[in-house]
A and B are shown apart, each in its own frame.
Chain A
């Protein structure tokens, strides 16, 4: 049975996410998003993934969402003239409930996913070079041994994104705009 902390943070996350989806104001949506991400980070803590939790808060809630807020404030995205699209919202709700039912069935009743049954134990891994650890050092060691190539590629990806963003943000020549 999940403990109290998990229920609290799960409720917080879902509530914040609902705020993100439903709010008509983009800034409110962003606030909901930040809260939801913090909730996810808290869940990471509950799962003993402290380093990832910290990373989530720093990168997402800190950097990414600040970026979002900047852009939201930079662009005037308010469109008050249009009515709230209830019809589409109803469709979205239907999608949500359908998926939610599927998720509950899949993880709670069907037992199709190994390890979701009550009291299930994890499989005994005979060869597990990456034993789960909480310390950031464990990440570092893995990143520079087993995942060295993906790490390099991720670095290249960041560089590419950097260049791409610079070229995209440059003022277009007068004739093209």
Chain B
């Protein structure tokens, strides 16, 4: 296996992460915010795989495996929370969920 350039993949991962973060900050719909979070996670896994490939060791890739597992569990719980929230307050807009305001 020949070497693979590392930088382009890292840049792609970074840009995806930046997009995800901007989405988290901008969007009001909690579901979309949640998807943006997942996008950030995917960006991080991309960086991990790139490093793993570049350094020729499986550890990073195995970590990605676990990230996917945890993300799946997290999505299930998070979506259940959002549904419960919607049932109680009738909205999933982050702007209206401001009961923590002092």
Contacts and interface: CB of A to CB of B under 8 A. Distances in A.
B31 A107 contact: no
Nearest to A55: B68
A119 to B, nearest CB: 9
- How many chain B residues sit at the interface, stated as a range, is 35 or more
A27 B51 CA distance: 33
Contacts of B21: 95-96, 99
B58 A133 contact: yes
Given A132-B57, A165-B80, A37 B42 contact: yes
Interface residues on A, range: 35 or more
A92 B77 CA distance: 27
Interface in B1-50: 1, 3-12, 14-23, 25-29, 31-32, 34-36, 38-39, 42-43, 45-46, 49-50
Interface string A74-89: 1101010010010011
Interface of B: 1, 3-12, 14-23, 25-29, 31-32, 34-36, 38-39, 42-43, 45-46, 49-59, 61-62, 64-66, 68-77, 79-84, 86-88, 92-93
